[in-house]
Amino acid sequence: MMLERLLVANRGEIAVRIIRAARDLGISTVAVHSDADAGALHVQIADAAVNIGPPAARKSYLNTEAILQAAAATGCDAIHPGYGFLAENAGFADAVAAAGMVFVGPSGDAIRLMGDKVAARSAAHAAGVPVVPGSMGRVADIGEARHLLMETGFPVMIKAAAGGGGRGIRIAHNLTEFESGFPQAQAEALAAFGDGGLYMEKVVQRARHIEVQVLGDGTDAIHCYERECSLQRRRQKVWEEAPSLALTDRARDELCASAVRLARAVGYSGAGTVEYLYDDLSGAFFFIEMNTRIQVEHPVTEMVTGVDLVAEGLRIAAGEGLRLRQSDIRVQGHAIEVRLNAEDPARDFAPCPGTVGELRVPGGPGLRFDSMLYPGCQVPPFYDSLLGKLIVHAEDRPAAIRRLSRALSELSIGGMKTTQPLFVALAGDPELREGAVHTRWLEGWLNRHAGRLAADMEP
């Protein structure tokens, strides 16, 4: 039986995306919003909306009690967390279930297991999934970490066990950097996650970031192939595409099969992503983490497979199980997504909140614009600066890049500075067009082209 009334516990473009998918399935929707988002697009398009508090996220979008009260008051039988905020909060998933509602996503136990990076490494290892060489558990203290260095060598990555979003991470290339980086990572992890636990991994020098989209129903699981997310700034993804140019057919089969093994092993339910580092030199791949939610970059997978991942997640949550078999999933063509943020690339990507002026959205075949934007809408300073995602699909990668360039030339977002000039420049870069990138490539590119971006941002 399909869900009847869904509360979307999020905001911005992902809330809009979920509301549209739910309404396509005949599910009534309820939006929640802070005072700052009273006029937001997700509020306008939902069937009902509830104000859950002041602008500060901890008093609104992170307020479990307010969200549950809103769901109960509006007669909801399910809650979708989207991404960010409470999406990977095991306690929230437990609280939704305890309130007699369906949490659209995995169980609290699965979130808890995969949210602890050390426990996730152990689970992956037990499922026969390769992990990056390093500590199999948390390192007790800096003394134990020094001893482990004899096995890993330099460079080594010190990472928060309960981490995410690039926080609580330090890379040490020598003992001096290690001695200073360990306590820094510990303090940052404690401040960000309330947990100062750390583990260590060997740094893969020429790494690509490749992730596998999975769908599970708690018993079985399938994959929807991979996405490459190697273009990153400060460990934050900015450009994603599918499929990856780096993989051979054999490597792709092995990578995707390992993701399914892990999803089955942890009893995963819903849409999730298993993330890997791929060594461009050796062809080896290593598990790094599992994201127990829908991803920002899920549209590129939808474009090449034709699978509506949000809709499938809703069907699974409603108890339908997996409708699709592995043999049903095929990849056609190539898709690219770029994240458009209200940031100024010429000023170290400083946030640029404000009011959207003129808005011109590109059109044509093979193009999708997932956003929260409309002329006159407010972009508040309290949340993530993501405005939307421009996604293109074409018969191959060169055609997709050409389509992206054309779409970027048509797109106009007035009233604030955005990251659009960055993607215009990247789409024309010969090295990127060749696909010879890795996780540190964009940082180097930005250093070389800082002056060019500043000039492009001039009115």
The burial of 143, by beta-carbon neighbours within 10 Å (0-12 exposed, 13-18 middle, 19 or more buried), is given as exposed
Question: Mean of the per-residue pLDDT values for the chain?
Answer: 95
pTM of full prediction above 0.75? yes
Strand partners, 35: none
Provide CB contacts within 8 A for 302, sequence distance 6+: 308, 309
How confident is the model over 265-276, as pLDDT tens digits? 999 999 999 999
Strand partners, 199: 159
86-100, 137-151, 333-347: range with lowest mean pLDDT = 137-151
Q: Would you call 396 helix, strand, or coil by DSSP?
A: coil
Task: Give CA–CA dist 155/175, Å, rounded.
Answer: 10
Do 35 and 21 touch, CB atoms closer than 8 A?
no
Provide CB contacts within 8 A for 20, sequence distance 6+: 45
DSSP output for 302-348:
HHHH---HHHHHHHHHTT------GGG----SEEEEEEEESEEGGGT
DSSP output for 57-117:
GGGTTT-HHHHHHHHHHTT-SEEE--SSTTTT-HHHHHHHHHTT-EESSS-HHHHHHHHSH
How confident is the model over 89-102, as pLDDT tens digits? 999 999 999 999 99
Provide CB contacts within 8 A for 346, sequence distance 6+: 417, 450, 453, 454, 456, 457
* End-to-end CA gap in the chain: 54
Amino acid letter, 31: A
Share of the chain above pLDDT 70, in %: 98
The burial of 380, by beta-carbon neighbours within 10 Å (0-12 exposed, 13-18 middle, 19 or more buried), is given as middle
On the question of pLDDT at 165 being above 90, the answer is no
Task: Give CA–CA dist 99/89, Å, rounded.
Answer: 16
How confident is the model over 379-420, as pLDDT tens digits? 999 999 999 999 999 999 999 999 999 999 999 999 999 999
pLDDT value at residue 182: 94
Q: How confident is the model at residue 458 (pLDDT cuts 50, 70, 90)?
A: low
Task: Give CA–CA dist 122/118, Å, rounded.
Answer: 6
More confident residue, 359 or 153: 359
pLDDT value at residue 459: 58
pLDDT value at residue 205: 81
Which domains can be identified in the chain, with CATH numbers?
5-104 (3.40.50.20), 133-202 (3.30.1490.20), 207-456 (3.30.470.20)
Do 420 and 340 touch, CB atoms closer than 8 A?
yes
pLDDT value at residue 367: 98
pLDDT value at residue 425: 96
Which residue in the block uniquely carries the two structure tokens 């996730």?
120
Q: How confident is the model at residue 104 (pLDDT cuts 50, 70, 90)?
A: very high
Do 225 and 301 touch, CB atoms closer than 8 A?
yes
Do 294 and 271 touch, CB atoms closer than 8 A?
yes
Q: Residue 146 catalytic? A: no
Q: Would you call 230 helix, strand, or coil by DSSP?
A: strand
pLDDT value at residue 457: 63
Do 220 and 260 touch, CB atoms closer than 8 A?
no
**386: nearest Cα among 173, 237, 174:** 237
On the question of pLDDT at 235 being above 90, the answer is no
Distances, alpha carbon 328 to alpha carbons 65, 331, 435, 440, in Å: 41, 10, 29, 35
Distances, alpha carbon 330 to alpha carbons 224, 243, 320, 326, 333, in Å: 8, 11, 22, 9, 10
Marked catalytic residue, from 11, 138, 208, 293:
293
pLDDT value at residue 206: 85
